[in-house]
Amino acid sequence: MFTSVLENIRVALIGLRSNKLRAALTMLGITIGVAAVIVLVSIGQAVDTFVRDQFLGLGTNLILVLNGENERGETVRLTLNEAEALADFARVPDALNVMPQLNSTLPISANGREAMGRIRGVSPIFPEIRSRTLAAGRFFDQTEMDGLARVAVIGLTVVDRLFPDVYPVGQNIRIGSVTFRVIGVMAEAGSTGFGGDENDLIFVPITTAQTRLVGERVLTGDRPITSVLVQARDGDGVDAAARQIREALRDLRGISFRDEDTFEIFTQTDLLDSLGQITGLLTIFLGIIAGISLLVGGIGIMNIMLVTVTERTREIGLRKACGAQRQDIVLQFLTEATVLSLTGGLIGITIAYGGSLAVTLALPDLSVLPQVGSIALAAGISIAIGLFFGIYPANRAAALNPIDALRYE
């Protein structure tokens, strides 16, 4: 049996060499399809890995609390007092750090340069809770926050925009109509953060942002904030901390057990799961698109094998007259179709590897390298296509009457 298979492979390779152009054009569909599947699936996997790394780079064990809506569809703003209450160990014992955030967009200017700036009011624990470091200067402290100090720490993008030729620390920057002193520059952030480019931000004490830049108040007279970032004590305590935050906010807002929450709570796990579903669907979608090329390539193999059966009708008749059984003819043409498909698949894998390297060089942030599983899957698909699309021509060849086949002109 094994000898017969080797002989069929040898005959198939001879047939490929004798019709090089036809074989190349037939394999082209499989080659393109396999290369496209591997590259696009690898890109989808690389995007998923990149997104996960970005979110894990934000810090560890984080919980994000956002504004919500009441039963009338009105937005209920979080307040600084609520954030301070969540920092109470008695209310949320599994919380290690609690940081309120207030985002706004205002005109900024310095040294005759102007732009629109993204301002984020935070507390002094920002570098700790977000695992960030400073490239120069320092971050503001609790005394400056309590004293509504007009100090700012800026990102590298802001430095390039307003201080391209000047050492920024110690310089003045105007935010809206208020002048701030730059006391630090954040080191480059590798993540995009919960709200866009982390390098294009100006950090100020949240109390200063509330009183000097925004000045908003809710109906109760409290000053609103955009969100609260809570860091759990460890990975096992994230869910417990989220439950405690929910219970504390419901109690603070007097929400009865029948009513829905007027706030939203997200953990890193929730966000990663949601993003994982999105990137997973994207990968599947890209794979389906590329799979269409494989279908077209398979149809091409069936077509060329039908032509081959017609061209070799007399050979088939001669083999059957010499005692070849039906399964021998089927095996011969199935082997030829599989060799054709697998050869195209191997070429496609080689092209895919080169294409993946090219994408990685063009987009260094994405490590688009084919996984061993993807390559094995592509090889398996190539064999399956050869078998599936070769079965009909093989059966047609095996069904030929030897007498009619010998008389065929």
Say whether pLDDT at 57 is over 60. Answer: no
Q: What is the pLDDT of residue 249?
A: 92
Looking at per-residue pLDDT, the higher value among 375 and 403 belongs to: 375
The mean pLDDT value for 189-214 works out to 82
77 plus 49 within the same structural domain: no
Q: What is the pLDDT of residue 102?
A: 94
The mean pLDDT value for 202-206 works out to 96
Is 241 inside a domain boundary?
yes
* Inter-CA distances, 395 with 146, 331, 389, Å: 85, 9, 11
Q: CA-CA-CA-CA torsion for 13, 19, 22, 26, nearest 10 degrees? A: -10
Q: What is the pLDDT of residue 125?
A: 94
Is 235 inside a domain boundary?
yes
Is 61 inside a domain boundary?
no
141 plus 235 within the same structural domain: yes
Euclidean distance between CA atoms 340 and 37, whole angstroms: 18
Is 278 inside a domain boundary?
no
Say whether pLDDT at 207 is over 90. Answer: yes
Number of folded domains that form the chain: 2
Q: What is the pLDDT of residue 402?
A: 61
Which element (helix H / strand E) includes 306? helix 268-311
In which domain, by residue range, is 10 found?
Answer: 2-54+287-407
The pLDDT > 90 percentage for the chain reads 30
Q: What is the pLDDT of residue 130?
A: 87
6 plus 129 within the same structural domain: no
Do 278 and 365 form a contact (C-beta atoms < 8 A)? no
324 plus 349 within the same structural domain: yes
303 plus 255 within the same structural domain: no
173 plus 237 within the same structural domain: yes
Is 268 inside a domain boundary?
no
Euclidean distance between CA atoms 99 and 86, whole angstroms: 9
Euclidean distance between CA atoms 143 and 390, whole angstroms: 79
The residues that bridge with 203 in the sheet, in sequence order, are 120, 153
334 plus 250 within the same structural domain: no
212 plus 247 within the same structural domain: yes
Euclidean distance between CA atoms 91 and 87, whole angstroms: 8
Q: Which of these three, 246, 261, 276, is where a domain ends?
A: 261
For 397, half-sphere exposure in the C-beta direction (CA atoms, 13 angstrom radius) is 33
Say whether pLDDT at 18 is over 80. Answer: no
332 plus 244 within the same structural domain: no
Q: What is the pLDDT of residue 297?
A: 81
First vs last Cα of the chain: how many Å apart? 32
Euclidean distance between CA atoms 290 and 377, whole angstroms: 14
Say whether pLDDT at 79 is over 80. Answer: yes
The residues that bridge with 351 in the sheet, in sequence order, are none
The mean pLDDT value for 291-311 works out to 78
Say whether pLDDT at 183 is over 70. Answer: yes
* pLDDT tens-digit readout, 27-54: 888 888 888 888 888 887 787 777 776 6
302 plus 377 within the same structural domain: yes
> For 99-103, 149-153, 347-351, which range has the lowest pLDDT when averaged over its residues?
347-351
Looking at per-residue pLDDT, the higher value among 125 and 349 belongs to: 125
Euclidean distance between CA atoms 311 and 15, whole angstroms: 12
Say whether pLDDT at 16 is over 80. Answer: no
Is 270 inside a domain boundary?
no
Q: What is the pLDDT of residue 403?
A: 59
pTM: 0.64
Is 281 inside a domain boundary?
no
Q: What is the pLDDT of residue 196?
A: 65
